[in-house]
Every structure is written in structure tokens, then in C-alpha cells.
Copies of this chain bind each other. A is one copy, B any other.
């Protein structure tokens, strides 16, 4: 397919027209995916998530959870006990997404080396004269 689209590129559609962006906007958050993965094993508690993800702040956990809940990707169940106990669980919809995410993971695994090399090569080719003494990794 070496077609030279010389001028036929107008078909490229509008920005938000493609549903791909919808998915990514929803999943692009730094923590969304990790929460989905962490919750994939079954119902999980707030604190378990907080401790399991290791690096997430309470704030971001809450916010991301809210967004996922809002989009119907996780369900929030409050147990009216004392102390309070709230469990989050993936909805079927989110479980499908999880499967799809694994395909992305697969792609990443397959090419991460190639990509890392590309980066290194690119950086090297562009830093060579700029690195008098900086020694960027």
C-alpha cells in the first residue's frame, strides 16, 4: 500500500469523531488502568487498592475511582457497617476492556525492546553535540 495520498487526506476525519479517543480519554489517566487491573481479580476495598497500587495517593485513587464509576466501569458497594467498608468491582463492560487491554500489553511486550532502542538511537543522534558534559542517560 504505497499509495501517495497527495491531497486525498481530507478524509482524516474530525478530532473527536473517532471513538478511539473516547476510550483513551477514559483510560489515559495515570491510574485508571492499574485500578482496573487490580480490581479484575474480584471485589476489592478502597484501602486494599491504595496499598496494592503502591504509589497512588488517596486523592487520585478517589478521583480515578469516581471517574470509572461514573463511566460504569466499576461498581461501588457500601456496606453500612462500622467501620465503613466499601468495595469496588469491575462491571462486565470493564472486564471486556480488561481483555482488550491485555492485547495492548501484548503489543507492548513484543516491541518494548525495539522501542527502547529506537529511543536510545534517536536520543544519541540528537544529543551527541549537545552533551559536552551532561552525560544524559
List residues of A whose CB falls within 8 A of some B CB. Answer: 1-7, 9-15, 18-24, 26-28, 30, 33-34, 37-38, 41-44, 48-49, 51-56, 69-73, 93, 96-97, 100-101, 103-105, 107-112, 114-115, 117-119, 122-123
Contact = CB atoms under 8 A, between A and B. Distances in A.
Given A93-B115, A119-B70, A104 B23 contact: yes
Copies of the protein in its oligomer: 2
B12 A42 contact: no
A42 to B, nearest CB: 5
B37 A20 contact: yes
Contacts of A28: 24, 28
A31 B2 CA distance: 24
A105 B100 CA distance: 10
Contacts of A97: 107
A73 to B, nearest CB: 8
A122 B69 CA distance: 8
A95 B73 CA distance: 29
A27 B85 CA distance: 36
Most B CB atoms within 10 A — which of A2, A23, A96? A23
The 8 closest A-B pairs by CB, nearest first: A72-B118, A12-B52, A19-B108, A28-B28, A9-B52, A9-B48, A13-B55, A70-B122
12 contacts: A5-B44, A10-B51, A13-B54, A15-B30, A15-B56, A19-B105, A20-B37, A70-B123, A71-B118, A72-B119, A93-B115, A96-B107
